[in-house]
Structure 1
C-alpha cells in the first residue's frame, strides 16, 4: 500500500534534527508495511491526483486553518478532490483542515491550550476499533473543531475537546485531534521548547508530568492500520 504523507509542518528548532519530521514519526507509528511518499505541503507540493497514492495522512502543523497562507486553500481543494476517492487520515491540524474542507468550522478556542496526555471518552464504534471506553493520547493544540461537517460522526471526545475523533463513513476518512505519532519524549521536548512563550511554568510542568502515564499510542496505530486495511480493500 502506498501512503502519501501530507506534511503541513515540522518540529521547531533543533527538535527536527533530534526527533525527525512528522512524516518520519508516522512511518515509525504505522510501521514498515507501507511504501511512504512525503509531500512538503508548505512549499506547495501536493499530489497531482488522489490516485497517486492508495491513502493519505495529513500531519500536524503550527499553522491555523484560518491563516492566510498560500498553501492552505490548495490543500483544502485537494482534500475535497480526494474525499471518497482515497482513504484519508488527519491528525491535529490534519483533523482541523479536513473538517474545514468538508464544511465544518474551526476556531482558536477560548479554552486555551490542550497539552500533555489527554483522555477521551469513546462514544461511537467503527469496525476498525476494539472495545474500549476511553483512550489517552498526547495532545498539543489551541485550535478546535467547533462544528463538525455534515456527515461526520463523533467517535470520541472530552469536555475539553468534544470532537476528538471524527469518522466520515461515506468518504473513507477519519481524523483525530490528538497526536498518536508523538512519542512522549518528543512531546516533552516540544513543551520545553514552548515553556514561557505558549505555556506557563505551571502548565508545562503539569503537562510533562502527565506524559509519564500509560498511553494508547499503540492502540491508535492499530486503529489506523485496520482502518487503512479496510478502506483500501478492493
Structure 2
C-alpha cells in the first residue's frame, strides 16, 4: 500500500524566487527536506490552499497533512484562509497535521487560538528556541539520534505569531522574541512549528526570499543583514525534518507513549 503525505501549499512564490530556486511554492522545499530525511516509498501530493484545494474526506485520507508557510496572515478574512480553517476543522483527528510558520498559526486559529502581529517585530534568520519539558520529551521520542538538549535552532521568517494557544494545546518551545515557537495538540495528533526546517534543505530559498523582501520594502536593511549573517550558523533542519517525517508516519504511537497535559 502506497503511503501518501499531503502538502497543503499556501503560497505561490514570487517569479524572481521561482527563477532562482526552481520552486513554484513551498511544496518542493518540503519534498526535498523529507527525501533528505530518508523518506522511502512515500508519495507527496500537492494541494494549493490559495485555490481552495485540500485533501478530500470522501477519498482515502493521507497518512498526514503538512500545512506550509504563506505571506498572508492567518487572522484575516480572505476567502481561501476561511476555507482552509474550515477544512482543518473537518479533519478533526482523522489524520496527523503538521503546521509550519503560517501553517502553525492557522492551525492554532482553526482550533480556537489567536494570532496577531509580533509584539517585538519580525523574527527573521537562524534562531535558537528553548524547549519546554514536554518539548524535550516529544523531540527525544521523534529523534533517531536521541536529541538531548534544551533548544533547537531553525530558520525563521515571520511577522505574525500565535498569541493564545488553542484549547488542549501543549507548549513545546519558546524564544525571547516569540513565546510560542512550537506546540502540539495530542488528542488531535497535531504538531506545529513556527520555524522553517524545509528552508534548511535549500538555503538559497531563504536567501531569495530575503532579497525579495528587502527589494519590496517588507524588510529593513538592518533586519536583512542580521538575517543573512545568521544563516552562517548551523541549524537543526535535517534532524527536525526527520522528526516531522517520523511523526507523520506514527503520530498516534508517539502521543500514546507520552503523558502530556495542556498548557495553562
Checking the alignment, whether the CA contact within 8 Å between 1:120 and 1:134 is kept in structure 2 is yes
Alignment length (residue pairs): 233
CA deviations 1:35-93 (Å, max 9, x no partner) are 11101110111222184312100000011112221111111111111131100000000
**Matching residue of 1:201:** 221
Name the structure with the higher helix share.
Answer: 2
CA deviations 1:150-202 (Å, max 9, x no partner) are 11111111011111111111111100001111132221221111115022212
**Matching residue of 2:232:** 212
Q: C-alpha distance in 2, partners of 1:200/1:18?
A: 22
**Matching residue of 1:136:** 153
Checking the alignment, whether the CA contact within 8 Å between 2:111 and 2:166 is kept in structure 1 is yes
The more displaced of 38-47 and 9-18 is: 9-18
The more displaced of 116-125 and 7-16 is: 7-16
**Matching residue of 2:44:** 36
Structure 1: runs of 5+ lacking an equivalent: none
Q: C-alpha distance in 2, partners of 1:167/1:41?
A: 22
Q: C-alpha distance in 1, partners of 2:47/2:89?
A: 17
Please state how far the C-alpha of 1:100 moved relative to its aligned partner: 0.2
Q: Does 1:99 align with 2:99?
A: no
Structure 1: which 4+ aligned runs deviate by more than 4 Å?
A: none
Structure 2: runs of 5+ lacking an equivalent: 254-264
Give SS of 1:71's match. helix
- TM-score with structure 1 setting the length: 0.94
Checking the alignment, whether the CA contact within 8 Å between 2:129 and 2:175 is kept in structure 1 is yes
Checking the alignment, whether the CA contact within 8 Å between 2:63 and 2:249 is kept in structure 1 is no
Q: C-alpha distance in 2, partners of 1:83/1:155?
A: 21
- TM-score with structure 2 setting the length: 0.84
Checking the alignment, whether the CA contact within 8 Å between 1:96 and 1:106 is kept in structure 2 is yes
Matched ranges for 1:158-173 at <5 A: 158-173=175-190
Give SS of 2:93's match. coil
**Matching residue of 1:226:** 246
**Matching residue of 2:20:** 18
When the two chains are superposed, the root-mean-square deviation of aligned CA atoms in Å is 1.5
Please state how far the C-alpha of 1:232 moved relative to its aligned partner: 6.3
Checking the alignment, whether the CA contact within 8 Å between 1:122 and 1:134 is kept in structure 2 is yes
Q: C-alpha distance in 2, partners of 1:150/1:131?
A: 28
Q: Which of 189, 192, 214 is matched with 2:208 structurally?
A: 189
